Amino acid sequence: MKTYLILTVGTGTAGRESNISEGLMASIREVKPAGFWLVPSAGKDSIAVADIVREGLESLGTFRMWKEGQRYYLIDNHDSLESTRLTIREMIREIRRIIDPADRVVVNPTSGTKQMSAGATIAALDEEVFEIQFIGGVRKDGVVMTGSERLERFLSRDYFRERDFEKAKLLFTSGNYAASAQVLEPHGDYSTEASIARLFEAWQKTNYEKARLLASKINHPEVISRRAVLDSLAKAVRNQDHHALLGGDLIRQSRHYARLNQFEESIFELARAIEHLAHGTIREISGVKPNSEGEYPLDSILAITSQSGMKEKLKQREHHQKIRLGLSDLAELMIQNGMPEASGLRGGGVADRVMKIRNQIAHQFCSMEQEEFSRIYTAGHQWVGSVFKLAPVPDFPMTLSRLKDLEVERAI
């Protein structure tokens, strides 16, 4: 892994015991780059200092011309932060194009006007260079004394790590767990937090087994407190039972999307919960489970059907002694078995309206406004709560906490 160095070049602040060219040469010798570029302003004094540095280090053989016939890429306006930023940014991109991807680019913006230093620093951060260096040392009359120079190094990864965590927190809070994880995964220090985002991504997709396995390896309070319910959810899917728990999680998901103002997704999950809970109720009443195609044994369904007319209709629809049940079928069966509240699944009922809105969103490219959503969301959740027994499932956390911060809080 090689290091390549970019240095801005000014004229230096006057001082009896300071020499800007000596300081620049000392820093280059310390870094020992595989190649270095000097970036003076267009002023002749600045170019003269760059010439002194270049000639003084000629024996190293590592000075790089900007291009054939042009020693330096000049900053047109040394009083313009933007001019410097664009110049240094272009240099970084061009240098990266010609060096190995594993090699490092370092920027030293010490020399030059304040605008040159600031512009070069911003460009370095824009392009996420490995390191930014400044020349420090013993000062006299406000300037570093020649011979006392030392490099102050700023590893940009620390800055990017903190910046990316704030980005990841925002994405996590908005429910975009996959993107949150992608931002954090390049940073080893945040491997736990990235895994947490992946866990909630899997949970959001109802991939309970994957979420359970991730949770078993994460020692974070937000995860430890949810391990038991994830284990139960994964088991319920494997065994095709405990519809009160699975339905409760779908209702939690609908509630979660509502908190994020994702209205359409919230209605989808509410409709999904209603379908799941209705099928679960029929499984409990009949004592049988549908096959992988969603088909019930006809005889078992006929056994819980009290109306002869419905029995005949079901027989007409059977296929190899199997039957698929739609929501209207489920509603009738539930009513016939002592659940009059299931009438909400019939035409015009609350649950029926939820299903119709879900279908409109899916097939007619519709969207929902706040007032319409609040009305159907509230009515739908109240209906579900009055008809079905739901197991409580904890809400997702709305923010991503750093494990190290929590450890500090506990220590205090």
Q: What local confidence, expressed as pLDDT, does residue 141 receive?
A: 54
Instruction: Domain ranges for the chain, please list them.
Output: 3-148, 157-242
The answer to whether 116 and 109 have CB atoms below 8 angstroms apart is: yes
CA gap 397, 253 in Å, rounded: 12
Mean pLDDT, range 97-126, rounded to an integer: 93
- Residues whose CB is less than 8 angstroms from the CB of residue 255 and which lie 6 or more positions away in sequence, other chains included: 266, 381, 395
* Segments in 62-113 forming alpha helices (H): 81-98
The answer to whether 66 and 39 have CB atoms below 8 angstroms apart is: no
Q: Report the CATH number of the 3-148 domain.
A: 3.40.50.10770
Phi/psi class of residue 227: alpha, beta or left (left: φ > 0; alpha: ψ in -120 to 50)? Answer: alpha
Which pTM was predicted? 0.78
Q: What are phi and psi of 163, to 5 degrees?
A: -65, -45
pLDDT digits (tens, 9 = 90+) for 127-158: 999 899 887 655 555 565 666 567 788 888 88
The residue behind tokens 């989808």 is 268
Closest by Cα among 317, 324, 313 to 291 = 324
Q: What is the DSSP letter of 374?
A: H
Closest by Cα among 151, 154, 145 to 22 = 145
Instruction: Using DSSP bridges, classify how beta strands 296-297 and 322-323 pair: parallel, antiparallel or unpaired.
Output: antiparallel
Q: What local confidence, expressed as pLDDT, does residue 89 receive?
A: 96
Mean pLDDT, range 377-384, rounded to an integer: 96
Higher-pLDDT residue of 382, 144: 382
The residue behind tokens 């010609």 is 98
The mean-pLDDT minimum among 12-16, 33-37, 187-191 falls in 12-16
pLDDT digits (tens, 9 = 90+) for 74-92: 999 999 999 999 999 999 9
Helices 20-31 and 44-56: angle between axes, nearest 10 degrees: 40
Q: What local confidence, expressed as pLDDT, does residue 364 receive?
A: 82
* Bridge partners (DSSP) listed for residue 150: 136
Q: What local confidence, expressed as pLDDT, does residue 32 receive?
A: 94
Q: What local confidence, expressed as pLDDT, does residue 327 receive?
A: 86
Q: What local confidence, expressed as pLDDT, does residue 406 receive?
A: 53
Q: What is the dihedral of CA 270, 273, 278, 281, to 10 degrees?
A: -140
* Bridge partners (DSSP) listed for residue 151: 135
For a pLDDT cut of 90, what percent of the chain falls above it?
A: 67
DSSP-derived 3-state class of residue 50: helix
